[in-house]
Amino acid sequence: MSVVGLSMGGALAAIMTAGDERVRSLVLIAPYVGMPRRLRLAARSHWLWGRIAGEVNARDPRSIRNPIEREKNLAYGAVTGRALFQLWRVVRRARKALPSVTVPTLILQSREDPRIDPGVAEWALAQLGTHDKKLVWTEGGHIITVDYGRERVFAEVEGWLERHGSRNAAAAGA
């Protein structure tokens, strides 16, 4: 079995894969394994502001740079303080899990991602417990599976799964 995850799904995929001997390979697409300082502070203090603020607009037009695909996308519309807190918890668990990931792992990341700093992908690659790992830079914003360069993302994922795992991948969504 192979596991593929996008964004928060990438963090969940890392958690799932750590120490699981059934998994043969892992693909992390723009994995959310690092949270900017301001969001970490907001997540930890959600109990203070969350009920007052309600839902907060989380849309960022840079998440999908292709305007045609951006118009079709309905995700990332709003987030609550509690949801942000839960995301922070997932990020913390994923960061701790990375050294226990010992299967071949591919990370795909865009340098233009407004949600994940490129340094996070480089850090995650270094933290992985496997020696068989690769970081591929691609075009687009955060949701690189629908953005410019998505054909390369698909080709890289397909090639990785063919070389390192089964064609039947379990997907962890964003």
Torsion of the alpha carbons at 143, 147, 152 and 158, rounded to the nearest 10: 50
pTM to 2 decimal places: 0.85
pLDDT tens, position by position, 125-165: 999 999 999 999 999 988 899 889 899 999 999 999 999 97
CB-CB neighbours of 100 under 10 Å: 16
Handedness of CA 90, 14, 37, 70 (dihedral sign): negative
- Give the pLDDT confidence score for residue 72 in this predicted structure: 73
Percent of the chain with pLDDT over 70: 80
Kindly state the greatest CA–CA separation across the chain. Answer: 51
Q: Which domains, from first to last, does the chain contain?
A: 2-172 (3.40.50.1820)
CB-neighbour burial class of residue 111 (10 A; exposed 0-12, middle 13-18, buried 19+): exposed
pLDDT tens, position by position, 64-96: 777 777 777 765 566 677 788 888 899 999 999
Element spanning 37, H or E: helix 37-44
